[in-house]
Amino acid sequence: MGILAIRADERVKNVCFTEETISVDLVDGRTITVPLV
């Protein structure tokens, strides 16, 4: 199994993990949400 390293750059404002999703808030106001299940 590999290791996942998350590298946030200046465009990422916040990263949120739940049991079902990963959400990334960008500084331009957009939010990217990816389902995990």
Q: Residues 1-36: pLDDT tens digits? A: 566 666 656 788 999 999 999 999 999 999 999 999
pLDDT at position 2, please? 66
pTM of the model: 0.67
Asked whether 32 and 26 are in contact (CB, 8 A), the reply is yes
pLDDT at position 6, please? 66
Residues 6 or more apart whose Cβ sits within 8 Å of residue 14? 24, 25
Asked whether 33 and 16 are in contact (CB, 8 A), the reply is no
pLDDT at position 17, please? 95
One-letter amino acid at 10 equals E
